[in-house]
């Protein structure tokens, strides 16, 4: 912000806080008043002193005159005494002898002026000489019985001369004192005049100072506050503020804050404008969406590149046109108005349907119209976003067909499996049935026929279990297996498994241990399939454990799963065989285990079943023997494979 | 074997109708039934004759295959059900190679009294047949009383 230059002298004043300025403005006239009072006091003091001086001058004149009077009276008395010898004529002389020292002493103290003192010092010997002359005249008269008239005359003459000298000196003193007096009276007049002038000037200065102070204080602040008010008004209107001098008092700080607020607002406004501009540019350049605006009546007011691409009109061709021309004839009459009304009422309206391009061709569009309102909620217009969905519609159609085909294929697969099962079982029924009838009637046959019959029956049964397992696996893999997921309490279920499998384990000559979990547990699984898996595992353990003494069935928890453990203390499984453990028809070590019956599908089927129920079947190395872990979920969940035939057995 | 409530000769004299499109299976059933001692046996390999034979022969028990060409076992089950009066107990034992739970449920829902999957155990089938016939005889006795 630009700051006008402020004079340094004014700057100091401007930076002071308002309270300081107030105190100064009030104190200035008070100080002037006080000053004039002090000068008034000093002036009156000086006048008093001048008047004292005048009074003292009068006293000096009076005393000087008294000296002359005393001496003149004393001289006249002495003259009379000498002539008459009468004592009463000595009275003035004696009075003069008594008063003169005091009067002279007073004069000595009172005289300050150097000129007067000079005359007084001249007077002092003359007075002393006169007194001496009067005393010697009296002595002369007393001592000589007869006094020659010449002597008397001489003495009188001498006295007369002395008195004249005294008078002349006193006149000098009085004259000098009169000059001093005049000067002092003049001084008193000057002091009085000066005092009056000072008083007038003080009053004038005090008045003026007060006026200036109040003017400075009030007009300065008022002017600045009113400028501040102007700026506040500008801020409210969003205009640029006029620059105010940077001052450190409250008003200055207020002005600065206002300035900062304005700068902040301006910066935000700039940001907003920039972001609006960016947004506008982005919108304009969007190609995949037609984005444009309508006024309140549905007339197009802006048009972006995407709209041009989708609909075919250039901005110049379409601006100012009503947007209903984007609709095909059959909906043009009601749908545009209906969309605007919905947008007006609900804030936005969405529609998916046919729209028309400039060239008249149709496209499948997804349209969202949003009402644009100002901050007080008045409708300003609408924003419309159009997407060309033709492509997506086509791909959705393709997807739907593909899905239908997949479902059909899946159904065909299920049907094929079901037919295969049926077609294999039907002839096997005759083979096994007749085989069984022959076995029942075996005493009617020769020994070698009996053996043949036994072989037929055994091979037939083996074939049946092969078919069962194979179809099971295929059906699980085809997703055609129906699972009846239900909550199963683990403890009683384990009891059942133990009871069910005990004869198998016992016939292998092994001990069968059951270890229940510590806590009551529940699994969500298909009971029949779970049983199938566990029996298969126990059957394997019993079959292949030729060296150990026991088979162990246990259950514990593993995160959200229950883990069933079937282990034995037999020879276990060689590490090299582990990769093929769950492979169909891969009976490990077949040559050595020729005596062991089995289809080679058991583990593969069991694992498929476990996985189809959302669980897992794995082999875990065990220090002694083989160990299989079969996990099932403790929570109800969707089975891993979808149902293909629409039946909803898994819930 | 436990003592029966019905004399075995009475059971063995009852009429049994077996319907299966597979010759070998019909032969097996006939063998099983004859070995048990049944005398009144009618066998059909063409299911289209199922209903007419059912009406003419008036069997006490039907052994019925499900998956057959032209007319399948379910249709025959429905037809037999429509023909019989509601208070008749004429047991039908379904013998089928269709092991799906749906087939089992559907057959039992349509009135089949028992269901055995193929390949079956011949002794088991023989026992189920005699049990069903015994029930029918007892039922008839109850009605005549």
Q: List, for residues A566-616, the tens digit of each pLDDT value.
A: 988 888 887 777 778 887 666 555 545 445 566 677 888 888 888 888 889
Contact with chain A for residue B106, Cβ under 8 A = no
Contact check, Cβ <8 Å, A440/B123? yes
Q: What's the mean pLDDT in A527-543?
A: 89
Decide if pLDDT at B41 tops 90: yes
Is B101 part of the contact surface with chain A (CB cutoff 8 Å)? yes
The mean pLDDT of A267-271, rounded to a whole number, is: 89
Decide if B97 and A434 are in contact by the 8 Å CB cutoff. Answer: no
Nearest alpha-carbon partner for B74 in B52, B56, B96, B46: B96
Mean pLDDT confidence for B67-82 = 90
Name the more confident of B25 and A651. B25
Percent of chain A with pLDDT over 70: 92
Phi, psi of A197 (to 5 degrees): -65, -45
Rg of chain A over Cα atoms, rounded to whole angstroms, equals 71
Joined tokens for residue A612: 């189809």
Find the helix or strand (DSSP H, E) in which A297 lies.
Answer: none
The pLDDT assigned to A169 comes to 80
Q: What is the mean pLDDT of residues A111-115?
A: 80
**The predicted structure's pLDDT at residue A493:** 92
pLDDT at A647: 39
Residue A6 banded pLDDT, cuts 50, 70, 90: low
DSSP-derived 3-state class of residue B89:
coil
Dihedral sign, CA of A567, A570, A575, A576?
negative
**A221 or B41, higher pLDDT:** B41
pLDDT band at A649 (very low <50, low <70, confident <90, very high): very low
Q: B1 pLDDT band (50/70/90 cuts)? A: low
Label residue A639 by pLDDT band (50, 70, 90).
Answer: very low
Quick check: ipTM above 0.85? yes
> What whole-number distance in Å separates Cα of residue B24 and Cα of residue B21?
9
The two structure tokens encoding residue A327: 């609709």
Quote the pLDDT of residue B19. 94
Rounded to whole angstroms, the Cα distance separating A546 from A583 reads: 23
- pLDDT band at residue B77, thresholds of 50, 70 and 90? very high
Q: What is the pLDDT of residues B6-19, one digit of tens each?
A: 888 889 999 999 99
HSE, CB side, 13 Å, CA atoms: give it for residue A224. Answer: 20
Query: Does B140 contact A at CB distance below 8 Å?
Result: no
Mean predicted lDDT score pLDDT of chain A? 82
* Burial A207-229, CB ≥16 within 10 A → b, else e: eebbeebeeebeeebeebeebbe
Distance set, CA A245 to CA A15, A127, A262, A450 (Å) = 10, 85, 16, 127
Name the closest residue on chain A to residue B100, using Cα atoms: A418
What are A219-233's pLDDT values in tens digits? 677 777 888 888 888
Question: Higher confidence at residue A192 or residue B40?
Answer: B40
Other CB atoms closer than 10 Å to residue A563's CB: what's the count? 19
How, if at all, do strands A289-294 and A379-388 pair? antiparallel
Task: Tell me the pLDDT band of B74, cut-offs 50, 70 and 90.
Answer: very high
Q: Please tell me which of the candidates A437, A460, A647 has its beta carbon nearest to residue B122.
A: A437
- Region B74-103 average pLDDT: 88
> CA-CA distance, A620 to A628, in Å (whole number)?
6
Regarding predicted confidence, which is higher, A643 or B77? B77
Of residues A365, A188, A181, A343, the one with CA closest to residue A288: A365
User: For residue B99, which residues of chain A lie inside 8 Å, CB to CB?
Assistant: 421, 425
Distance CA A195, CA A38 (A): 11
Q: What is the pLDDT of residue B120?
A: 92
Tell the burial category of A350 from Cβ atoms under 10 Å away from its Cβ (0-12, 13-18, 19+): middle
pLDDT at residue number A587: 58
The per-residue pLDDT for B94 is 94
Contact A45, A237 (CB under 8 A): no
CA distance A562 to A568: 20
pLDDT, average across residues A71-93:
83
Q: Tell me the two tokens of residue A99.
A: 């008063």
Mean pLDDT of A285-305: 87
Interface test with B, best of A433, A474, A475, A643 (most B CBs within 10 A): A433
A421/B97 touch (CB, cutoff 8 Å), yes or no:
yes
Pick among A416, A419, A426, A469 to test the B interface (most B CBs inside 10 A): A426
Number of other CB atoms surrounding residue A12 within 10 Å: 10
What pLDDT, on the 0 to 100 scale, is given for residue A401? 92
Q: Which of A477, A486, A482 is nearest to A633 (CA)?
A: A486
| Helix, strand or coil, per DSSP, at residue A292 | strand
The residue with tokens 């002597």 is A151
pLDDT digits (tens, 9 = 90+) for A420-466: 888 888 889 999 999 999 998 888 888 888 888 888 888 888 888 88
Mean pLDDT of A67-78: 84
- pLDDT category of residue B114 using cuts at 50, 70 and 90: very high
d(CA A555, CA A465): 29
Cβ atoms of residues A289 and A367 within 8 Å: no
Q: Is the dihedral of CA A235, A239, A241, A242 positive or negative?
A: negative
pLDDT at A651: 33
One-letter-per-residue 3-state SS of A140-157: HHHHCCCCCHHHHHHHHH
User: Which range scores top for mean pLDDT: A116-125, A388-397, B128-137?
Assistant: B128-137
What burial letters (b/e) apply to A521-553, b meaning 16+ CB within 10 Å? bebbbbeebbbbbbbbbbbbbbbbbeebebbbb
């Amino acid at each position: 912000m630009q700051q006008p230059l402020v004079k340094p002298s004014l700057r100091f004043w401007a930076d002071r806080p308002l309270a300081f300025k107030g105190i100064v403005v009030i104190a200035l006239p008070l100080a002037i008043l006080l000053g004039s009072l002090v000068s008034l006091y000093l002036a009156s003091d000086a006048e008093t002193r001048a008047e004292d001086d005048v009074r003292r001058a009068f006293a000096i004149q009076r005393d000087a005159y008294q000296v002359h009077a005393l001496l003149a009276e004393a001289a006249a008395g002495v003259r009379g005494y000498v002539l008459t010898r009468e004592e009463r004529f000595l009275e003035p002389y004696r009075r003069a002898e008594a008063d003169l020292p005091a009067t002279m002493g007073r004069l000595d103290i009172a005289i300050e002026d150097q000129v007067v003192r000079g005359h007084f010092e001249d007077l002092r010997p003359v007075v002393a000489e006169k007194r001496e002359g009067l005393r010697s005249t009296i002595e002369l008269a007393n001592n000589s019985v007869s006094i020659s008239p010449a002597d008397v005359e001489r003495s009188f003459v001498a006295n007369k001369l002395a008195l004249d000298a005294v008078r002349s000196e006193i006149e000098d003193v009085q004259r000098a004192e009169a000059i001093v007096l005049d000067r002092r009276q003049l001084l008193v007049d000057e002091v009085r005049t000066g005092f009056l002038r000072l008083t007038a000037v003080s009053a004038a200065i005090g008045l003026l100072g007060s006026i200036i102070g109040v003017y400075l204080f009030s007009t300065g602040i008022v002017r600045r506050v009113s400028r501040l008010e102007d700026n506040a008004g500008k801020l409210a209107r969003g205009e640029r503020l006029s620059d105010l001098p940077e001052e450190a008092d409250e008003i200055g700080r207020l002005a600065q804050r206002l300035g900062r607020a304005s700068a902040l607002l301006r910066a935000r406004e700039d940001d907003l404008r920039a972001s609006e501009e960016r947004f506008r540019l982005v919108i304009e350049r969007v190609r995949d969406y037609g984005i444009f605006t309508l006024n309140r009546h549905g007339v197009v007011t802006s048009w972006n590149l995407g709209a041009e691409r989708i609909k075919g009109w250039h901005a110049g061709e379409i601006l100012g046109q009503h947007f209903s021309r984007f609709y095909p004839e059959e909906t043009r009459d009601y749908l545009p108005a209906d969309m605007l009304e919905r947008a007006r009422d609900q804030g936005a309206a969405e529609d998916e349907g046919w729209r028309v391009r400039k060239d008249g061709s149709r496209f499948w569009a997804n349209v969202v119209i949003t009402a644009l309102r100002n901050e007080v909620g008045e409708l300003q217009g609408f924003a419309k976003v159009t997407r060309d969905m033709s492509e997506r519609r086509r791909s959705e159609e393709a997807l739907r067909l593909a899905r239908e085909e997949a479902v059909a294929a899946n159904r065909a697969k299920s049907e094929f499996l079901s037919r295969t099962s049926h077609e294999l079982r039907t002839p096997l029924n005759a083979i096994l049935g007749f085989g069984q009838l022959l076995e029942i009637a075996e005493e009617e046959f020769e020994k070698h026929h009996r053996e043949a019959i036994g072989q037929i029956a055994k091979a037939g049964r083996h074939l049946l279990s092969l078919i069962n397992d194979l179809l099971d696996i295929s059906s699980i893999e085809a997703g055609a297996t129906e699972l009846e997921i239900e909550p199963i309490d683990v403890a009683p279920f384990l009891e059942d498994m133990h009871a069910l499998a005990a004869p198998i384990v016992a016939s292998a000559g092994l001990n069968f241990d059951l270890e229940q979990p510590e806590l009551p547990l529940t699994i969500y699984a298909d009971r029949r399939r779970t049983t199938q898996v566990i029996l298969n595992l126990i059957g394997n353990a019993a079959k292949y454990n030729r060296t150990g003494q026991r088979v162990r069935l246990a259950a514990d928890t593993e995160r959200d799963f229950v883990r069933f453990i079937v282990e034995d203390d037999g020879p276990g499984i060689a590490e090299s065989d582990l990769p093929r453990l769950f492979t169909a028809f891969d009976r490990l070590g077949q040559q050595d285990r020729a005596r062991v019956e089995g289809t080679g599908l058991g583990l593969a089927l069991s694992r498929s079943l476990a996985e189809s129920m959302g669980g897992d079947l794995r082999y875990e190395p065990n220090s002694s023997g083989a160990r299989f872990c079969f996990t099932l979920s403790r929570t109800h969940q969707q089975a891993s494979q979808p149902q293909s035939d629409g039946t909803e057995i898994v819930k | 074997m436990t003592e029966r409530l019905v004399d075995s000769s009475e059971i063995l004299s009852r009429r049994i109708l077996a319907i299966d499109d597979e010759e070998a299976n019909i032969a097996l059933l006939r063998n099983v039934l004859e070995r048990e001692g049944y005398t009144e046996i009618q066998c059909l390999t063409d299911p289209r004759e199922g209903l007419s034979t059912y009406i003419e022969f008036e069997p006490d028990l039907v052994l019925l295959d499900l998956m057959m060409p032209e007319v399948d076992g379910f249709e025959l089950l429905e037809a037999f059900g429509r023909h019989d009066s509601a208070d008749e107990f004429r047991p039908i034992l379904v013998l089928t190679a269709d092991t799906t739970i749906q087939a089992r449920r559907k057959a039992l829902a349509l009135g089949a009294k028992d269901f055995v999957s193929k390949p079956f155990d011949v002794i088991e089938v023989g026992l189920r047949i005699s049990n069903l016939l015994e029930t029918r005889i007892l039922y008839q006795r109850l009605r005549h009383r």
